[in-house]
């Protein structure tokens, strides 16, 4: 394309008009660890923002600044809406914050910790309280069986241990 069809202002602002990160309409329950992670992420981004503000002449830095500021708005909203959930005093029933050990139909054990949306990380076996597996487990007891509805097919799980 000819340079005659490109507005210079468009190039300068490229990457700075980002869509906002979607914020869930569900309650923002957090564990103590989840709240600390949100606060730590906000502090890291605030420091990065200050660093980028000193590079106003660098277009790449301004693009990074737009991403950082968008993420800071998201974290600020999540921190304002955070509902810190106290851990139950009894490990008889699965509730928010529980670490649940289950056994599948093949006898294989699996461990899931039920956490808030922002803390969820399947690599660490942390699942959101609003996920299908957490919904199946919440309010159940040791010895109960639940059906985990998955796109790949339903699995029956038996709860073998609950801890907080």
Q: Show me where the domains of the chain are located.
A: 25-84, 99-163
- At the topology level, CATH places domain 25-84 in Helix Hairpins (1.10.287)
Contacts of 132 (CB under 8 A, 6+ apart): 148, 149, 150
Task: Indicate the pTM of the whole model.
Answer: 0.82
17 or 116: whose pLDDT is higher? 116
- Looking at residue 5, what is its pLDDT? 53
Question: Taking residues 41-56, what's their average pLDDT?
Answer: 92
Helix H segments across 22-85? 32-53, 59-81
**Could you count the other beta carbons within 10 Å of the beta carbon of residue 72?**
16
What does the pLDDT read at residue 132?
95
Q: Is 146 helix (H, G, I), strand (E, B) or coil?
A: strand
**Nearest alpha-carbon partner for 129 in 89, 100, 160, 109:** 100
Query: How confident is the model at residue 47, as a pLDDT?
Result: 96
Predicted confidence band of residue 124 (pLDDT cuts 50, 70, 90): very high
Q: What is the CATH number of domain 99-163?
A: 3.10.50.30
């Amino acid at each position: 394309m000819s340079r005659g069809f490109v507005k210079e202002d468009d190039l300068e602002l490229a990457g700075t008009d980002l869509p906002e990160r979607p914020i869930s309409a569900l309650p923002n329950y957090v564990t103590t660890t989840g709240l600390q992670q949100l606060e730590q992420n906000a502090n890291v981004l605030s420091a990065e923002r200050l660093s980028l503000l000193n590079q106003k002449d660098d277009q790449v830095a301004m693009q990074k600044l737009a991403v950082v500021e968008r993420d800071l708005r998201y974290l600020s909203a999540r921190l304002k809406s955070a509902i810190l959930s106290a851990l139950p005093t009894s490990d008889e029933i699965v509730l928010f914050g529980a670490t649940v050990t289950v056994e599948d139909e093949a006898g294989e054990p699996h461990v899931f910790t039920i956490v808030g949306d922002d803390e969820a990380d399947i690599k660490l076996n942390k699942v959101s309280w609003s996920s299908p597996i957490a919904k199946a487990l919440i309010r159940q007891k040791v010895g109960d069986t639940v059906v985990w509805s998955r796109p790949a097919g339903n699995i029956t799980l038996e709860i073998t241990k609950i801890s907080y």
